[in-house]
A = this chain, B = another copy of it.
């Protein structure tokens, strides 16, 4: 690329999200954070990523407000990377990717990791896209509109 084509000025939220976290490692770093990783070395060993890449990604994720740097919890002079609320809000994204991968990228019976409810040990329910009244919504039931100026309340009912 002459310049990786910035998408951060697109008016599509998907494009901006992809621009922020749409590279190979960022989502996996976030996934590891959900899984308990906090220290540079934890991410590095868990992901097997080169340290310069990890350092660059963490810097970008901190700059994007997804992680924040805090003093280490164990009293040492090191620092840790913890998810901000914005970062924690990526949980549905990770779960969606995980469920899609479980369904379509593994043969039945193939070993894989699984995200389960800590209380029951059972897998989570499949994510369900719903209208605001709870009806299940499929791709064809939706339409993309352009909101030129956010109106305080929905205009069409």
Contacts and interface: CB of A to CB of B under 8 A. Distances in A.
Contacts of A56: none
A24 to B, nearest CB: 6
Given A108-B150, A117-B131, A120-B157, A5 B24 contact: yes
Given A90-B100, A139-B34, A141-B119, A11 B112 contact: yes
B147 A111 contact: yes
Interface residues of A, number: 89
Q: Copies of this chain, how many? A: 2
Given A28-B14, A86-B104, A149-B109, A125 B116 contact: no
A105 to B, nearest CB: 4
A51 interface: no
Contact of A146 (B48, B111, B129): B111
Interface string A119-157: 111111101111111110111111111111110001111
Interface of A: 4-5, 7-8, 11-18, 20, 22-24, 27-28, 31, 34-35, 48-49, 65, 86, 88-106, 108-125, 127-135, 137-150, 154-157
8 nearest A-B pairs in the assembled complex, by CB-CB distance: A13-B101, A121-B156, A17-B101, A16-B105, A17-B97, A93-B96, A92-B127, A92-B96
